[in-house]
Structure formats: structure tokens, C-alpha cells
Amino acid sequence: MSSSTGPRRPTMEDVAEVAGVSRGTVSRVLNGGHYVSPDALTAVQRAIRKTGYVVNQHARSLVTQRSDSIAFILSDPQDRLFEDPNFAILLKGCTQALAERDITLLLTVAGTQEDRKRVGRWVTAGHVDGVLLVSEHAGSPLINELRTRGLPIVAAGRPIGHEREISYVAADDRDGARQLVEHLRSRGRRRIAIITGPIDTPGGVDRLAGYQDVLGEPDPRLVANGDYTQDSGARAMEELLHRAPDLDAVFVCSDLMALGAVAVLQRAGKRIPEDVAVGGFDDSKAAVSATPQLTTIRQDFARVSVEMVRLLQDSITSGGRSAVILPTELVVRDST
């Protein structure tokens, strides 16, 4: 019986021979370059390129106890990943920031309590070095599961109830809401309604609080809840028009929900902004695709991504915990 094999894969010994150094020197270069002279470092890097040597990540992980992989966990139903443009921006930014560190990002969706338990078991079994947690809801068992296993975590948004326990990066939702509502008042609007996000998320809580900072305790007829989807924005707007037909403005706590609200207002014969001014939140693609284009609050998702990866790397290497709050900005367009 005969057999054939393909070309032999280059080894560390091959790299050492081409570079004219010891195998130990090659190993030190591959593990961070500590205690290696500049000349030896250059020689090994050239030899790696010449030989086409590729690091055996499995073998490295046995030595370093690191997987060189990070989990990006979306704690929402799977369809939100494709419907909400903010998630795609965060995912792209985190992927790029990790790639610069030669770290792989693994995407997983945990939209139900059962999913969160399953994902919690998987990520704490040694498959990843840390977690980037997106759209976590208050009361979810996932954070406690991850913390119990000692896995480094960085959340996108304030992790309600866990602010002192895990790192997070958040836009200043409350101040952004204040900016938007103050803008509506400056345009002479007096019956300003709000369509909130989910009240078990930081955006839902903090944007409502910013609205209340400006207007005080709201008229219950002017408050409706959504879940950041376009359909929920439409349903909430229908509720508001039924309960408060004299409203003259609405602060919608995401651009995507605002698209649904605008469609309902236009079907009801309301002119925007003459009859009802509309403001959104995020400054996403939805804001400029609306007719008229939306006045909204801009948050820098690209910077959120970079800061999340930075904090997670710090947590993995040193065990530190930090919080970064990023400023928001009012962007005025035709809807107000």
C-alpha cells in the first residue's frame, strides 16, 4: 500500500536554522519578543516570512493558557443583529480592533434565558479569553455566570446592577436625551411625548431619565414603550396618538423606532415637523434614510468598539476594571 503526503509544514527548527539563532530565541519572539536582541528579532521575523511558518495556536494555548479568541455576545434575538445597524457597526469595529492584536472574534447570540445559560457554559469552558457583552438586560443570569467563572467582561452600555463589578463603555445616554428634549423645547414644543427603549436596558432607563430631567414627571399619556425595533416604534406611536392627539413632538429613543413612528404620523395626516416634530437617537443610517431626515443624537460606535477592546485587553492582562463614558452630540436635521 502506498501513501502520499503534501509538502511538509515549516517548523520552529526551520525558522531557527534560516535565522541563525536557537529554537529558544524563536520561541521567545513568538511569545512577545522579551529578552531578544533587535538583530535577532529582525532575523527571526525575516525567517518566518521566508519559510512561511504559521504558529500552531493549539500548541501555543497549551503553554500560555490563552485561546487568543474573544466572544462577542449579543444578548438579544438573532434578527436584531441584522435589523439594527448599530450592532453591525459595533461588531465590525471590535473585529478590526482585535485583528490588529491577532485575536479572533467569535460571534454568538443569546436572545433567550435558555440561550444565555447555554452560552454562559460554553464561554466559561476555556474556549475564549474574555467577553464583549452587547445589549445585556437587567436580571439576566449571564453576567453572574461569567463573573462566577472569573472570565473578563466588558459591556457595551452601563451594566445595570453590575456597574462596580465589570468594565463597560457607554455613551452618555442621559445627557443625549437632555440635549434632544431641550432642542424640542427651544423650537416651541410643549406637548413632548417619548417612545422609550426597553426599561430593563441602560438606554431605556437613562434616556427616559434625561427626558424627565428637562420636563419633570411626565404625563403618563405621553409615554409609550418600545424595544428598539421599527415595528415597536410604530405601535408606540399609534398608542400615543390615541391617548394624546394634541402632542406636538415626540422623542423616540432610537432612530429605527423613529422610522416606525414617522410612518404612523404620516398615515395619520400629520406633517413633520409642522404638526409634530420628531427626534431620534443614535445617528444611524436610519436617520438619513427617513423622510424627512431625522434630528438625532450621535454616539460614536466606532470609538465604543475600540475602547471596549482596550478595556478587555487590560482586564485580561492585569485584572483591572474601568468605565468609559463617551459624550454624545445633537445633530439637527429636517424632522424638527
- pLDDT at residue 255 above 90? yes
For 3-24, the pLDDT digits (tens) are 445 567 788 888 899 999 988 8
pLDDT confidence band for 81 (50 / 70 / 90): low
- pLDDT at residue 58 above 70? no
Radius of gyration of the chain from its Cα atoms, rounded to whole angstroms: 25
Q: Read off the pLDDT of each residue in 204-215 and give the average, rounded to a whole number.
A: 97
Where do runs of H (alpha helix) occur along the chain?
12-19, 23-30, 38-51, 57-64, 78-83, 85-99, 113-122, 142-148, 173-186, 202-215, 230-243, 255-267, 285-289, 301-318
The pLDDT, as a whole number, for residue 253 is 98
- pLDDT at residue 322 above 60? yes
- pLDDT at residue 51 above 80? yes
The pLDDT, as a whole number, for residue 245 is 96
Average pLDDT score over the chain: 88
The pLDDT, as a whole number, for residue 28 is 80
Where do runs of H (alpha helix) occur along 244-300?
255-267, 285-289
Which of 21-35, 154-168, 247-261, 296-310 is least confident?
A: 21-35
